[in-house]
Structure 1
Amino acid sequence: MEVCRNVAEQMSSYNQPWGIAGGWAVDLFVGRKTRGHEDIEIAVFRDDQHILKNFLDGWTFEKVVSGELRPLGEEFLQLPIHELHAVHETSGKRLEILLNEVENGQWIFRREPSISFPQQQLFKVTSEGIPYLHPAIVLLYKAKMSRQKDDADFFAVKDLLEKADRKFLQKSLEVHVPGHRWIGEL
């Protein structure tokens, strides 16, 4: 999980909420690497996008628009754009950045705005101090077009979730992807 430690070190003086996302967030929650990973993503709040961009001085940014990478200017990105790719200009390190919606102290699921989660609980922190996106939120994103690796993440996490988080995920799946195979497992 060295890649997570490296990102946490890079972000250590960033003074806004953030956390490792995707499959690495699952591994941080479980406490061990459960499978291979192709990339690393972080989640931040949409309103903090310019703060993050200024913080990551020496990185170039592209936005994902309709599945294609396009140069990012100084504009403030609105939905449906929610993903940035950053590349460090000298080291070539890559980082995916996922923009998250927050309103009135609640994280709002961009795919289904009726689903929300307390903003203060969105990021958890490992014993090493590495912040990561709550695993129930990670799984909610992974459910829409779940692949074998997403199923592996689900089964690595489901029995470790607190009862309230399992209930949140179950109800959210019922709204977002009714009939999903994970619902019966929760």
Structure 2
Amino acid sequence: MRTETPWGPWEPMPLADAVHLLAPLRTPWWIAGGYAVELAVGRAFRDHGDIDVLLLRRDQLAVQRVLPDGQWWAADPPGTLRPWLPGEILPPQVHDIWCRPGPGEPWRVQFMLDDAEDGDWVFRRDPRIRLPLERLGRVCDDGVPYLAPEVQLLYKARSRRPKDEQDFEAALPVLGEDGRAWLTETITLAEGAGHPWAARLRAN
């Protein structure tokens, strides 16, 4: 699915290609976004305008070393793009990085940076919300790591675009009791007790 942006077109690489590209990476990474929900659900159910990969901020330079020929741009400040230089440590306010094979090529993959502290993942919108790193993701039968659906839905809860609502509905049956309880608690904390998803989760 090709989409246009002010910084050039997005033409996300297929999921299998992204997994192959990142296989040499020896630091943790997780498929994120809508693909993470599809991996949790076990089937494809919508189109994707991009492909997202979550990294821990502390490991950001590892992906540059694994993909040395990529052209990297950072959302700094958010809402704009500027080149991410080789070996540069990005400032804390930068969470999104776009990558493409070279100038004039479509953007192919987006990396997101999240923080970790004392063995916990820290939700960047509300540092009160944490989760042990070992619970942050899951792994498919074929070895593909992906972000736990309850964590991905927490990120989607604020915007609630049509695709986010679609992801929420698809993920509900696979959340599990612990996932539902955690998502209900964290949405309520971050977005308020009146959030529609929190109400749905409490009702099911």
Identity of aligned residues (%): 34
Partner of residue 136 from structure 1, selected from 124, 146, 150 = 150
Q: 2:168 aligns with which of 154, 158, 176?
A: 154
> How many residues of Structure 1 are paired with residues of Structure 2 in the alignment?
185
- Structure with greater contact order relative to length (CA < 8 Å, sep ≥ 6): 1
User: Does 1:28 pair with 2:39?
Assistant: yes
Distance 2:119 2:45 in 1: 32
Runs (4+) off by over 4 Å? 90-93
The 8 Å contact of residues 5 and 130 in structure 1, kept in 2 or not, is answered as no
Q: After superposition, give the CA deviation of every residue in 1:42-61 in whole Å (9 maximum; x if it has no partner).
A: 00100000111111111010
Q: Secondary structure of the equivalent of 1:182? A: helix
- Alpha-carbon displacement from aligned partner over 1:125-168 (angstroms, at most 9, x marks no partner): 11121111111110000011111110110010012112111111
Q: Which amino acid aligns with 1:185?
A: R
Name the amino acid aligned to 2:200. Answer: E
Task: Give unpaired runs (5+ residues) of structure 1.
Answer: none
2:23 to 9, 12, 15: 12
In structure 2, what is the equivalent of residue 75 of structure 1?
Answer: 88
Kept after mapping to 2: 8 A contact 1:61/1:72: yes
Structure 1 residue 34: Cα displacement: 1.3
1:92: Cα distance to partner? 5.0
Aligned equivalent of 1:54: 65
Given that 1:30 and 1:157 are in contact with CA atoms closer than 8 Å, whether structure 2 keeps it comes out as yes
RMSD, matched Cα: 1.5
- Partner secondary structure for residue 112 of structure 2: strand
Unpaired stretches in structure 2, ≥5 consecutive residues:
1-12
Counterpart CA distance in 2 for 1:125 and 1:5 is 14
1:180 alignment counterpart: 195
Q: TM-score, normalised by structure 2?
A: 0.87
Deviations 1:66-92 (A, max 9, x none): 201111123211321100001123975
Q: Please give the TM-score of this superposition, normalised by the length of structure 1.
A: 0.95
CA contact (8 A) 1:43 1:99 kept: yes
